Amino acid sequence: MSVAVAVPAATRAVIGGSGSLAADFPGDLHPEARVVEGDLVFETPWGDSPPFTLFELGGHVALHVRMHGWRAGVSRGRASRQVFSVLHRAGVRRILSDAGVGSLDHLLDPGDLVVVDDFVDQTTDRDRYGVVVGDHLLIMRDPVCAAGREALVGCARRLAPARRVFARGTYVVTEGPRFESPAEVRHLQSMGDVIGQSFCPEVWLARDIGACYAGIYLIVNYGEGVVQEWEHDVLAQIFHEDAGLMGRILLNALAALPDDDDCRCRELRKPTLLG
C-alpha cells in the first residue's frame, strides 16, 4: 500500500462505524455505487491516514473510511484528525456516520435506530484541544446537520419499515474502550439517550472543516442496569446481521442529501476573535 500526498476531490464522505463494520462497503449495498479506488493512504500532519475508499454515487464523488479511522497504535484523537485532514483537503462538505451504541433510556431496545440531534462529550483523552483548521469559533447550537438527519431518518424508515426509528436523541460520548459500570450509567442517564464511543471529536471536527455531520445509531445493548442484562450473542447477531442494513441506509442517505446549502451548519462557524 503506497502513501499519497495529494488527496482526490470529493464532496461527500461516510465515516463508517461499528454498525456497518461487518459489511463490505460500498460493495453491492447500492446498485449505483461504483468504487474508483480503494486502499488510499494519505500523509497528514498527524501521521499516515487510515485507508480510504474513493467511490461515486448519484453523480457525487465520496470517500469512505472504516471504523472511524481507529486502529491499533494510534490514539483515537489522532486518528480522527488524520481522517478530517484528508476530508478537508478533499473538499468534503457533507459527512454521514454510523455506530452501534448502548441504550440509556429504558424505552429503547436492541435493534432500534436513533438519528441523534445533540451530544454530551464525556471523552477524556482525544486531543480535546486539537483541530484541523483551527481558525474558527465552532458554535454547537445545532451540532448535527438537519438535512443529514432528514435523509437518514427517511432512508431508515423506507429500508427498515419494521424497525423503530427515532428522529432525535442525545448521544453521550465516553472514552472507552471499556463499557460503563451501572453507577456510571445511572449518572449518564441524566445526560442523554444513547451511549457510545464515537461522535466526538468527529462532530466538531466536521464544523472545523466547514462540513455537515450527521449519524445513525443502532442500539446493540442496554446500558448496565437499564431494563435487563444484555447478552453477547444478541450483540454479535446485531453486529453481523444488521451491518448490511446500516450500509444501505448510509448509501441511500448519501445519495439523498441535497446539493445546495439548505442547512445552517456553515453559519455556525464564525471567524475566531482570538487571533
Select from 52-60, 130-138, 212-220, 221-229 the region that touches Zn ion (CB under 5 A).
212-220
From residue 116, how far is each of 31, 148, 220 by CA, in Å?
A: 28, 11, 15
The DSSP letter of residue 51 is P
| Residue (57 or 145) nearer to Zn ion, CB | 145
| Residue (147 or 195) nearer to Zn ion, CB | 147
Neighbours of 158 (CB within 10 A): 12
| Nearest approach, Cβ of residue 25 and Zn ion (Å) | 23
| Residue (109 or 267) nearer to Zn ion, CB | 267
Q: Is 205 left (phi over 0), alpha (psi -120 to 50) or beta?
A: alpha
Q: Cis omega before residue 201 (within 30°)? A: yes
Whose grid coordinates read 495529494?
6
Contact characters 98-127, Zn ion, x per CB under 5 A: ------------------------------
Could you give the CA distance from residue 244 to residue 249 in angstroms, rounded to a whole number? 9
| Nearest approach, Cβ of residue 45 and Zn ion (Å) | 26
Select from 82-90, 186-194, 234-242, 258-266 the region that touches Zn ion (CB under 5 A).
258-266
What's the grid cell of residue 41? 493512504
| Nearest approach, Cβ of residue 263 and Zn ion (Å) | 3
User: Out of 21, 92, 145, 209, which residue is the one contacting Zn ion (CB under 5 A)?
Assistant: 145
| Residue (81 or 149) nearer to Zn ion, CB | 149
Q: Are 68 and 200 in contact (CB under 8 A)?
A: no
- The residue among 154, 153, 189 whose CA lies nearest residue 174 is 189
Could you give the CA distance from residue 95 to residue 168 in angstroms, rounded to a whole number? 18
Residue 10 in the binding site for Zn ion (CB under 5 A):
no
| Nearest approach, Cβ of residue 211 and Zn ion (Å) | 8
> What number of chain residues touch Zn ion (CB under 5 A)?
4
What's the grid cell of residue 128? 480535546
Whose grid coordinates read 451540532?
143
User: Out of 78, 180, 263, 269, which residue is the one contacting Zn ion (CB under 5 A)?
Assistant: 263
| Nearest approach, Cβ of residue 256 and Zn ion (Å) | 14
Could you give the CA distance from residue 103 to residue 118 in angstroms, rounded to a whole number? 15
Residue 265 in the binding site for Zn ion (CB under 5 A):
yes
| Residue (29 or 254) nearer to Zn ion, CB | 254
CA atoms within 13 A on the CB side of 244: 7
| Residue (142 or 184) nearer to Zn ion, CB | 142
| Nearest approach, Cβ of residue 85 and Zn ion (Å) | 20
User: Out of 29, 101, 165, 212, which residue is the one contacting Zn ion (CB under 5 A)?
Assistant: 212
| Residue (145 or 255) nearer to Zn ion, CB | 145
Q: Are 203 and 120 in contact (CB under 8 A)?
A: no
What residues line the site for Zn ion (CB under 5 A)?
145, 212, 263, 265
